[in-house]
Amino acid sequence: MHELSLAQGLLSQLQALAKEHGAEKIVLVRVSIGAQSGIVIDSFVFGFNAIKTTLALSRDAVLEISEVEGSDLILMQVEME
Partner 1 sequence: MCDTCGCHISDDTSSKIVEVHQSLLAANQEQADKNREHIEAMGAVAINLISSPGSGKTTLLEHTLDRIGRNMRIGVIEGDIETERDADRIRKKGVPVVQLTTGGACHLDAPLVHKGLHALEHQSEDGKFDLVFIENVGNLVCPATFDLGEHERIILVSVPEGSDKPAKYPTTFHGANTFMITKTDLLSYFDFSVEEAKNEALRLNPDLRIMEVGAPAGLGMDQWISYLEELVAAH
Q: Which residues bind partner 1 (CB under 8 A)?
A: 1-2, 5-6, 9-10, 13, 17, 21, 23, 27-28, 31, 37, 72-81
CB 23 within 8 A of CB 79: no
Q: Measured from the CB of residue 59, what is the shortest distance to partner 1 in angstroms?
A: 16
Q: Where does residue 4 rank: exposed (0-12), middle (13-18), buried (19+ CB within 10 A)?
A: middle
* Cα–Cα distance measured from residue 79 to residue 26, given in angstroms and rounded to the nearest whole number: 6
Q: How far is the CB of 57 from partner 1 (least distance, A)?
A: 14
The nearer residue to partner 1, 17 or 55, going by C-beta atoms, is 17
